[in-house]
Amino acid sequence: AQKVTQAQTEISVVEKEDVTLDCVYETRDTTYYLFWYKQPPSGELVFLIRRNSFDEQNEISGRYSWNFQKSTSSFNFTITASQVVDSAVYFCALSEANSGNTPLVFGKGTRLSVIA
């Protein structure tokens, strides 16, 4: 069975600090996709990144970066120089890839508060 664990329930940082959100996943599939979503107070889920299981290259997008390590089944997310607008709940999610888009399995989320 698939499972996503986000051990950090809440994190508070001061603006401009770097912060890393942890994600550990479990799956028996060899082909899968990993995602990060942001959920601001307004409630909608905002897509941040998608990574397939065959691509372990780290990715950087502006202040965001992602570290995918299959050896430890982790897909961690780092925000550099955090800003107040980064305050939100962040979800890591996993889907199989064997037969099209199977339903996403989400972690419980990490609530990030960035204090000015």
Partner 1 sequence: DTGVSQNPRHKITKRGQNVTFRCDPISEHNRLYWYRQTLGQGPEFLTYFQNEAQLEKSRLLSDRFSAERPKGSFSTLEIQRTEQGDSAMYLCASSGPGRAGYGYTFGSGTRLTVV
Site residues, partner 1 (CB under 8 A): 4, 6, 31-33, 35, 37, 42-45, 47, 50, 52, 91, 93, 95-109
CB of 81 to partner 1, least distance (A): 27
Instruction: Identify the residue whose tokens are 């399995």.
Output: 105
In whole angstroms, give the CA distance from residue 77 to residue 58.
Answer: 10
Nearer to partner 1, 55 or 85 (CB): 55
Closest separation between CB of residue 18 and partner 1, Å? 24
Report the greatest alpha carbon distance in the chain: 45
In the three-class reduction of DSSP (H, G, I as helix; E, B as strand; rest coil), residue 57 is classed as coil
Query: Which residue number, 31 or 83, has a Cβ lying nearer to partner 1?
Result: 31
**DSSP state, residue 114:** E
Q: Please count the residues of the chain.
A: 116
Least distance (Å) from partner 1 to the CB of residue 34?
9
Residue 82 near residue 18 (C-beta atoms within 8 A): yes
Q: What is the nearest approach in angstroms of partner 1 to the Cβ of residue 73?
A: 17
Q: Closer CB to partner 1, residue 37 or residue 86?
A: 37
